[in-house]
A and B are shown apart, each in its own frame.
Chain A
Amino acid sequence: MNEIFGIPIQALMGQLMLGLVNGAFYAMLSLGLAVIFGMLNIINFAHGALYMMGAFLAWLGLTYLDLGYWQSLLLAPLCMACFGVLIERCMLQWLYKLDHLYGLLLTFGLALVLEGLFTNQFGVSGQPYSIPDELTGAFNLGFMLLPKYRAWVIVASLVVCFATWFMIEKTRLGANLRAATENPQLTQAFGINVPLMVMLTYGFGCALAGFAGVLAAPAIQVSPLMGSNLIIVVFAVVVIGGMGSILGSILTGLGLGVIEGLTKVFYPEASSTVVFIIMAIILMIRPAGLFGKEK
C-alpha cells in the first residue's frame, strides 16, 4: 500500500517527521519557559529573541571566527547563559516584588530591543547556515527517506529535554530548585542561596533557548524575525499544556508539532493556526491546561 487516506506514505511520513522536528523545538522552548516561569514567575517574552541570538551566534561564529557547528552547539548556550545572568541581575531582579505582569512587559520590551538591533545590523532576510558534513544525507528506511539532520535534531532535543527533566525531578539540585520554586522564603531560611538559584535558573533557560537556536540554524534560515513568530506559538503550547509539569510541557510540545505536521498534509491552509484553534478548544473544556494545576 502506497497511500494512506489518498496521501502517499512518503509524503505523510515526511510531514510527520517534520512535525516531530517542529514539536521538538516547541518542547525545548516551552520547557525553558516553564522552568523560568516556575522560579521567577515571569513569562520570558524574550525567549524567542534569545533563541534567535543562539542561531546568530552560531552563524557569526562560523562566518567570523571559523567556529564549526559542534563548537557553537557548546559555546552558544554558554554565551546565552551568561547573557541571561546579566539580564536577571540588571533588570529582572527588581521586578520580583511587583505584579507578575511587569515581568512580561519588561521581557517584551527586551525582545523588541534585541530583534530591532539584529534587524538593523543584518536585515530581515535570512542568512544561510549549512548542515555540518557529518549530518548531511539521509537514512533510507524503506518506506521513507529520513534526513540525517532531522533525526539528529529530534534525538538531540529529546536528550536535552530528558536530561533537564531528570535533573529537576531526580537530583538533589533539582530538589533544591523545586523547593525554591514552591516556597522561596522558607528555602532561604534553610540556608540555600535562593537568589543565586534564581539567577542560574534564568541563565539555564536562556541556554536552552540558545541551544534550540543553534539546532535550528541549519534547518531554517537564520533571520532576526525567526524567534518572534515562533514564541507566540510556544505561548499557545504553554497555555494548552499548562506549566504544572516538566514532562507535560515536553509531551504537549511534541504532540502539537505532530498535529501541526499532519494538518499540513490534510488541510494545509489551517496549518499555521491549528495550534491556536486547539488552544481555544482547550480553554473551553479544560482551562487549566492538559497538565496544569489551577493557580
Chain B
Amino acid sequence: MKPSSAGYFALLVFGLIAPFIIYPVLMMKILCFALFACAFNLLLGYTGLLSFGHAAFFGTAAYVAGHAIKVWSLPPELGLLAGTLAAALLGWVFGSLAIRRQGIYFAMVTLALAQMMYFFFLQASFTHGEDGLQGVPRGSLLGVIDLADDINLYYFVLAIFIAAFCLIHRTIHSPFGQILKAIRENEARVISLGYDVAKYKLLCFVLSATLAGLAGATKMLVFKFATLTDAHWHASGEVVLMTILGGMGTVFGPLAGAAVIVALQNELADKVGSLVTVIMGSIFVICVLAFRRGIVGEMTALYQRLARNKA
C-alpha cells in the first residue's frame, strides 16, 4: 500500500504543531532516531543488508560535530556538515571492507568494526572517554536563528528530517532504488544482468552511513553532548529494533518504531532501571517470533484483509 498524499500531509501537519503538544526535546529525540532508523532501513529493508554497527556512524558524527562546534567554534550548520562528512568517510571505509562478505558474516564484520571504533573513542583524548564531550553550544543557525531556543531548534531538526526523508524517498523510487530492491530479492540474478552489485551495495551503505551520521550529529546538537553510548553496540541494536518493530522495508515503519522505542525508554527510564535492556530484548524476541512484519507491516496487512473482505 503506497502511503497516500493525505497520509504525508497529516504527518506534516502533526510535525508542525507537535512541539506545542509534546515536550520539544522528546520530539526532537524521536526525529533524530527516526532519521537514524530510516537510514538503517535503506540498508536493511530495501537492500537486505543487516549492519550491526551503525552506531559507529551515529557516534562518530556526534563526536566530530561536537568537537567542531565546541573546540573549533564552527557554526552549527558547518558542525553538522563536518560530522556528517566524517560519517560518510567512515561509511565508505567500513562498507568497502564489509561487503566482501555476505549475510551473517556481513553483520558480524560491521559489528566488529563498530566495536573497534568504540574502543578508539574510549581511549582517544578528544572524546574525554567515559565523561563524554559535554557542553557543546547550540549556536546560531546561519548566524541569525538562536538554536538555544528549543522551539527554534525543533523546526530546524524537523527541516533536516524532512529533507533527509525526501532524499531517501527519492532514492527508493529511483532506478537506483529498484536495483537495490532487486539485489535483496535475488542478487545472483542482478549480477547475471551485468550490474556491478558491489558498487551498488557500497553506495547504499555510504548513503545509509551518511544519514545515520546526520542523525547522530543532530542529536548531539539537541542534547549538547556526545557520549560513548552513541557508539556502543547497544545503540546499533536499538536502531535494528526500531526498524524491525516498525516494519522493515516500509516507508513509515522506521518512524513508528523510533517513536515507540524512544517513548517507551522515556517512560521507563526512571521506573525500571536496568530492566529496560530486558524489555528491549524481549521486544526483539517477540518481533522475530511473532511480529516480523512490524507495526506498519501488520497494519497494512490488516487493512488489505479488510478491504478484500468488503469487496
Contacts and interface: CB of A to CB of B under 8 A. Distances in A.
Let me know if chains A and B touch directly in the complex, using CB atoms closer than 8 Å: yes
Interface of A: 37, 43, 91, 94-95, 98, 100-102, 104-106, 108-117, 119-120, 228-229, 232-233, 235-236, 238-239, 269, 272-273, 276-277, 279-280, 283-284, 287, 295
Given A120-B274, A238-B108, A228 B100 contact: no
Contact of A113 (B102, B123, B282, B288): B282
A228 B233 contact: yes
B108 A269 contact: no
Interface residues of B, number: 45
B59 to A, nearest CB: 15
Contacts of A273: 116, 119-120
Nearest to A287: B100
A116 B116 contact: no
A269 B124 CA distance: 10
Contacts of A283: 97-98, 100-101, 109
A110 B283 CA distance: 10
Contact of A116 (B109, B278, B288): B278
A119 B277 contact: yes
A235 B112 contact: yes
18 contacts: A95-B289, A104-B107, A105-B50, A106-B289, A109-B241, A110-B285, A111-B281, A112-B234, A112-B280, A113-B277, A113-B282, A120-B274, A120-B278, A228-B233, A239-B105, A276-B119, A280-B97, A295-B102
A94 B112 contact: no
Given A239-B109, A273-B119, A284-B97, A109 B283 contact: yes
A272 B119 contact: yes
Nearest to A229: B115
Q: Which secondary structure dominates where chain A touches chain B?
A: helix
B277 A115 contact: yes
Among A91, A119, A228, A232: residue with most chain B CB under 10 A: A232
B190 interface: no
B244 interface: yes
Contacts of A98: 292
Contacts of B288: 95, 102, 105-106, 109
Given A108-B237, A232-B115, A113 B278 contact: yes
Contacts of B292: 98, 102
Q: Which secondary structure dominates where chain B touches chain A?
A: helix
Nearest to A292: B105
Given A106-B288, A109-B283, A228-B233, A101 B115 contact: no
Contacts of A95: 288-289
B45 to A, nearest CB: 12
Nearest to B240: A105
Among A106, A109, A119, A295: residue with most chain B CB under 10 A: A109
A199 to B, nearest CB: 17
B112 A109 contact: no
Given A102-B288, A232-B233, A283-B100, A239 B277 contact: no
A116 B50 contact: no
B276 A116 contact: yes
B284 interface: yes
A106 B277 CA distance: 14
Contacts of B241: 109
Contacts of A115: 277, 281
Contacts of B276: 116
B233 A109 contact: no
Given A101-B107, A105-B288, A276-B115, A116 B101 contact: no
Contacts of A111: 281
A276 B107 CA distance: 14
B116 A276 contact: yes
Among B112, B237, B282: residue with most chain A CB under 10 A: B112
Given A108-B284, A111-B281, A116-B278, A279 B289 contact: no
Contact of B112 (A37, A91, A276): A276
A239 B50 contact: no
A235 B111 contact: yes
Contacts of B103: 100-101
A104 B104 contact: yes
Interface in B87-137: 97-98, 100-105, 107-109, 111-113, 115-116, 119-120, 122-123
A117 B285 CA distance: 15
B104 A119 contact: no
B134 to A, nearest CB: 22
A109 B282 contact: yes
Contacts of B105: 239
B273 interface: yes
